[in-house]
A and B are shown apart, each in its own frame.
Chain A
């Protein structure tokens, strides 16, 4: 019954490293999202994509980029990891116009620690 899969549950990276977080969905949904979740700040949108090769900035895109070469895969890239990017990263997928008897499904999350 897996719908959204994130490549890693836990990740530890060094400051300055380039980091790739991968997300794959098996629902054939058009929209995919990357959020980060921090205590006291809730879920904040980093980037989203509404179609292959299309992307839009969310609320906190600085220090991140994304790639969507195939419909089922949405990658989040930390160009040069910094300690303030230590967080829980959550990927979600939903159909176009979702909200009409549909919903966005989330992956299990990736806990990233930058040291």
Chain B
């Protein structure tokens, strides 16, 4: 069974304090690993898709990396507007094209 575990559940940082969020996964064969950002009361907003180990993608203060067992979302010099819940999901190569989600990391950036 495909599984995704995110850690930590919640993280508080000071503005400018860099850190990383972790997404560990087990999947029969990885078609893609997705990162989403979700603000309270809203639907998830797509950030990145990663397809193979060693791949990296960047967007503003965010950088996502991928290994064969986990993905990291690195946040460099965060600002208060980066506060949100960050969701990780995997899509397997076999079977239905559904996304299996982790429970998310709730990130708070204090000014």
Contacts and interface: CB of A to CB of B under 8 A. Distances in A.
A45 B104 CA distance: 15
B103 A98 contact: no
Interface stretch (B13-21, B45-53, B64-72): B45-53
A41 B51 contact: no
Interface residues of A, number: 32
A48 B99 CA distance: 11
Given A43-B99, A99-B31, 18 more contacts: A4-B43, A6-B43, A31-B97, A42-B102, A42-B104, A43-B44, A43-B87, A45-B98, A50-B97, A90-B43, A90-B44, A96-B97, A98-B91, A99-B34, A99-B91, A103-B34, A106-B46, A111-B41
Interface of B: 31-32, 34, 36, 41-46, 49, 51, 87, 89, 91, 96-104
Interface of A: 4, 6, 31, 33, 35, 40-43, 45, 48, 50, 56, 58, 90, 92, 94, 96-109, 111
19 contacts: A33-B98, A35-B101, A40-B103, A42-B102, A42-B103, A42-B104, A43-B44, A43-B89, A43-B99, A45-B99, A90-B43, A96-B97, A98-B32, A98-B97, A99-B32, A99-B34, A99-B51, A100-B31, A106-B43
